[in-house]
Amino acid sequence: MVAVDEGEFVLLNDLPVEDATLDLPGTSMVAGELANLIYGSRGSTPFVLAVDGRWGTGKSTLMRQLSEILARRPDVETVWFNAWTASGVSALTGMLKLVLGRLDRNVVRRAFRRLRDNEVLGGSLRIGAGVAASFFRLDRALDQLWAQMSVDARAREQARDLLATALGSWIDEQTGQPRHTIVVFVDDLDRCGEATAIEICEAIKLYLDLPGIAFVLGCDLAVLSRISLPAAESGGHVREYLEKIVQVNYQIPVAAEATVTTMIRGYAQRSRTAHLLTEPLVALIGRQCAGNPRRVKRLINSFVAEYQLDPRWREFGADGLLKSVLLQHLYPDLYREILTTGGDVLGGLLAYRAARDWLLTHGRVPTGEDLQAGRQLLVAYGISQPSAQDPADVWERAVGQFEGRVPEAWRLLAGNEDCRMLVRDLGPEPERLRLQHRLRRRPLSTAPTPVEPPAADEARYEGLRLLWIDASPAGNEPMIDGLTARGAQVRTSTDTRQALEILPLFQPNAVISDISRGGEERAGFEGLRVLRQAGYAGPALFFTSRVDDDRRRLAAAVDAAITASAGRVGEWAQAQAAVAAQPGPVDDRARGRK
């Protein structure tokens, strides 16, 4: 391999891949088979094929390749409908315009005249005899039709009649089948607002259910099946509605390990990071990102951007930065623990695993450096170490005490071998400490918060007014960004004094707080007690790096929950948002905080 200067890393784009030679996720073969299916079934139009998959799994790439293949087939026209820009009736008019735009102008003009002569088109849409030679008048009449469709149901029926009449010219009189096919691609349907998604489905079902038209929908059907239909009382009704629209569903499968490995290595080559992504790291990324192409690209891009934005990483080393980004993206609880806790947090995870295994096996695990550090950790947390002569319940009681005192991030990751491998790969204690000290002084600025609008199946937080109190807010920014992107209002303060100033102006209905501030181990508990005295009666959560029995007791004394998990914070916030959305007096909702 040609040596690459570390300053030449480049970002990866997130555009769908149309060129099969650049198709790292390996969807070109599937696109070819689906193209054969659609082309061979064109005599069975109308029909709808759904490309079903979660965010980032390659739906758009597959659809772009499918469109490119079909466009080369004879008697096939392909069009793309941008669902993002449509709203309300504009979804219907936009789709009708796209389809009519693919038809021969003479065909549309003759269809318009036929409907006029049969008095199907009424009112201002009835055009004069001169239309036979005037495309300008036809355009003007069509513009009138589109304008009336937003307010006139009859105009929508007239538009369908016009399209059906025009498409009728494609029908072979002998076989009764269309000689041409228009394939309409609608991507990201599940990411639209509910009203737009329903309007598009209604357009497909009621107005464009015509011979000669096929639809390819890109969506997550599991998300789409949860939209609110006017007459639906259950999820079953929604599924039945979708089954009437979608005739065949291709679900993007989980990629094979070899495909994922090839994809990651290909992205590494393009971004010029291949010399950093060792074989074990490639395997780790593939497993922890579940083969999702977008997650892999975002991880690599975060590394590239961080390296370019902060020149001091060039002095520290690209390898250490890459592993820091992996910690931030794949193990956010552990990354936050590093930012908010002193010492060797990563080494502590290894020691905790060794001590835990030693206790669980009643002292029968092999000895080693980690075990020695683990037994020292037991002493540090005040856990009496059982002896070989002690009965099983003594060992089990020690395990329970130990689990209740160590950081929750350690407990959650104790069995994660990928995380353990990554931590070991950071080197011995001096190198680990140097990296962690660097992150505490200057946390990573490229947080893995999604840039695009949240998917319909992601948690929503409208109505949540959250006051977040933390002396070191940097580690919370990704979570705060995620909450605000999903509709929450969040105000932050670094101490109780600022929180008291915000309280009457913002009137929060939820509070999250740290515990230790400025050397005071219980500042958060006292701060919440002050807020309660000032009139705040709503739910509260302490988000901290360490949860033990003493802290649980102190949190309960001020009527608050406590956690060390970022995931639990999201669940708690979602629950409070749901309470806030319930009708009824604010005080009653606040009292239901638990």
Identify which of 251, 190, 200 has the alpha carbon closest to the alpha carbon of residue 225. 190
* pLDDT tops 50 at residue 289: yes
| Higher pLDDT pick, 89 / 73 | 73
Looking at the chain, the domain(s) classified CATH 3.40.50.2300 span 465-591
HSE-CB for 286 with a 13 A CA cutoff: 23
Indicate the residue type of 197: A
Q: What is the pLDDT of residue 137?
A: 57
pLDDT at 148 over 70: no
pLDDT interval class at 500 (50, 70, 90): very high
Task: Tell me which residue of 100, 75, 95, 93 sits closest to 164, measured CA to CA.
Answer: 100
Task: Give percent above pLDDT 90 in the chain.
Answer: 23
- Percentage of the chain lying above the pLDDT 70 cut: 75
Residue 405 pLDDT greater than 90, yes or no: no
DSSP state of 385: P
pLDDT of 226 strictly over 70: no
**pLDDT of 369 higher than 90:** no
φ, ψ dihedrals at 222, nearest 5°: -65, -35
Distance separating alpha carbons of residues 306 and 313, to the nearest angstrom: 8
Helices (H), 169-225: 194-202, 221-224
pTM: 0.60
- What superfamily would CATH give domain 20-251? P-loop containing nucleotide triphosphate hydrolases (3.40.50.300)
Q: Taking 90 as the threshold, does the pLDDT of residue 586 lie above it? A: no
Please state which of the ranges 159-168, 307-316, 386-395, 547-556 shows the lowest mean pLDDT.
Answer: 159-168
Rg (CA), the chain: 30
Helix axes 135-149, 89-101, angle to 10 degrees: 160
d(C-alpha 100, C-alpha 79), whole Å: 11
Cis peptide, bond prior to residue 366, ω within 30 of zero = no
Q: Which residues contact 389 (CB under 8 A, 6 or more apart)?
A: none
Structure tokens at 157: 């029926």
Task: Give the residue range(s) of CATH 3.40.50.300 domains in the chain.
Answer: 20-251
Calculate mean pLDDT across residues 397-411: 88
Q: How confident is the model at residue 128 (pLDDT cuts 50, 70, 90)?
A: very low
What fold, for 465-591? Answer: Rossmann fold (3.40.50)
pLDDT in tens, 231-278: 544 545 667 777 788 888 888 877 778 888 888 998 898 889 999 999
